[in-house]
């Protein structure tokens, strides 16, 4: 009897221990709980990283969209040089430069050079240069225009050369207007005697002037159809933006010359690898009459040395064919090859 009780007690004890052991095996231990916590943390970090990535991508897309980028930081397109050795050139073709200063509406003091052609009725070219250097780096182009029979007024945008102020893309338009007003109000040159000349990015402010001033003619040299269009050709990232994301300023030269305008000359180097010559062809195709296209076969964006004779002759033909006082109604004299594309 005693042995039987002892056996039953042992069996009962074994069962109880089995239950305790079973309970221990089905209840998660500290290691399992730690793994679950790590998984939760990893999921939370992944969600946070995904949200952060979306926010960064969205902010980047917004910040670098053309209207915001150009309005807030358009100065990244401008590369001004202070006055240097190139300013020692005080005469061209034995005509002494008139070193002048005038103000823009911001109160900045702008510097320009005026070269007076001896002929009183000679066209006066208002030269808006490209985004690099200063007026002293354009002596070659000034000489070509003077050889072609024009007076030349070339000026520096704010912060370029000896001009004061801080570079600003929108400011180039204000500076171009100030230069135009200097010619008409200070030097009393009639609007109808002025020919606008826009080199590269200078085509932007030139076409802005074209829309509001009654000038004798306009020359676009190595410029683009619009800031957004050339941006999409040069920077793949810009292709992510639809066309209504217009830069500020838009510098939509193609739209400006598709409207009514005085005689137009478009010049472009066929070896230009900065602004492709296809931009010139597109501008020419979109422009209303009267118009003329000259493609310089050996010229790059910054050098016309190998095509200098063709360049000067094209300028001479164009300027000689402009009727004085034509303004926006401008009709070229007989013989000028407007409406045609000319190559070397």
Return the residue matching tokens 């969205």.
58
Closest by CA to 215, choosing from 126, 114, 154, is 126
Q: How far is CA 13 from CA 3, 19, 191, in A?
A: 15, 10, 115
Instruction: Please check whether residue 182 is in contact with residue 209, taking contact to mean a CB–CB distance below 8 angstroms.
Output: no
Question: Is residue 1 helix, strand or coil?
Answer: coil
Write the Ramachandran bin of 120: left for phi over 0, alpha for psi from -120 to 50, otherwise beta: alpha
What's the CA gap between 260 and 328, in Å, rounded? 7
CA dihedral (309, 315, 321, 323) in degrees, to 10, reads: -150
pLDDT for 51 equals 84
pLDDT for 30 equals 66
Return the residue matching tokens 């030349």.
152
pLDDT for 173 equals 96
pLDDT for 344 equals 46
Find the length of the chain: 344
- How far out from the chain centre does Cα 7 lie? 99
Secondary structure string (H, E, C) spanning 246-304: CCCCCCCHHHHHHCCCCCEEEEEECCCCCCCHHHHHHHHHHCCCCEEEEEECCCCCCCC
What's the CA gap between 197 and 283, in Å, rounded? 15
pLDDT for 324 equals 64
Sequence-separated (6 or more) residues with CB below 8 Å from residue 179: 102, 110, 112, 126, 128, 153, 155
Write the Ramachandran bin of 235: left for phi over 0, alpha for psi from -120 to 50, otherwise beta: beta
List the beta bridge partners of residue 155: 112, 128
Radius of gyration (Cα) for the chain, nearest Å?
A: 35
pLDDT for 332 equals 43
What's the CA gap between 144 and 246, in Å, rounded? 35
List the beta bridge partners of residue 154: 113, 127
pLDDT for 338 equals 44
Note down pLDDT in tens along the chain; length 344 residues. 545 555 455 545 555 555 555 555 555 566 777 787 888 888 888 888 888 888 877 766 666 666 666 666 577 789 999 999 999 999 999 999 999 999 999 999 999 999 999 998 999 999 999 999 999 999 999 999 999 999 999 999 999 999 999 999 999 999 999 999 999 999 999 999 999 999 999 999 999 999 999 999 999 999 999 988 887 777 766 777 777 677 778 899 999 999 999 999 999 999 999 999 999 999 999 999 999 999 999 999 999 999 999 999 999 999 999 866 544 434 444 333 444 445 44
pTM over 0.85: no
pLDDT for 340 equals 46
């Amino acid at each position: 009897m005693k042995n039987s009780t002892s056996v039953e007690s042992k069996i009962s004890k074994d069962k109880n221990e089995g239950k305790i052991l079973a309970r221990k095996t089905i209840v998660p231990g500290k290691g399992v709980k730690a793994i679950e916590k790590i998984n939760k943390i990893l999921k939370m970090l992944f969600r946070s990283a995904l949200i952060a990535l979306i926010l960064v991508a969205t902010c980047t897309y917004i910040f670098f969209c053309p209207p915001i980028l150009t309005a807030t930081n358009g100065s990244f397109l401008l590369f001004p040089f202070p006055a240097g050795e190139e300013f020692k050139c005080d005469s061209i073709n034995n005509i002494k430069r008139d070193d002048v200063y005038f103000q823009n509406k911001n109160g900045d003091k702008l510097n320009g050079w005026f070269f007076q052609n001896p002929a009183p009725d000679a066209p006066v070219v208002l030269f808006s240069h490209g985004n690099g250097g200063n007026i002293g780096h354009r002596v070659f182009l000034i000489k070509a225009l003077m050889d072609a029979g024009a007076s030349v007024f070339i000026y520096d945008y704010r912060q370029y050369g000896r001009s004061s102020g801080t570079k600003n893309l929108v400011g180039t338009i204000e500076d171009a207007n100030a230069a135009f007003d200097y010619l008409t109000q200070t030097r009393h040159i009639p609007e109808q005697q002025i020919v606008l000349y826009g080199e590269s990015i200078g085509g932007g402010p030139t076409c802005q002037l074209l829309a509001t001033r009654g000038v004798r003619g306009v020359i676009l040299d190595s410029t683009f159809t619009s800031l957004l269009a050339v941006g999409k050709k040069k920077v793949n990232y810009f292709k992510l933006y639809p066309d209504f994301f217009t830069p500020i300023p838009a510098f939509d030269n193609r739209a400006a010359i598709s409207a009514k305008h005085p005689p137009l000359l478009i010049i472009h180097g066929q070896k230009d690898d900065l602004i492709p010559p296809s931009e010139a062809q597109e501008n020419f195709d979109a422009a209303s009459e009267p118009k003329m296209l000259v493609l310089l076969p050996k010229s790059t964006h910054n050098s016309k040395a190998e095509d200098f004779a063709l360049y000067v002759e094209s300028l001479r033909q164009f300027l000689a064919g402009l009727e004085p006082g034509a303004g926006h109604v401008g009709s070229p004299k007989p013989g000028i090859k407007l409406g045609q594309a000319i190559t070397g």
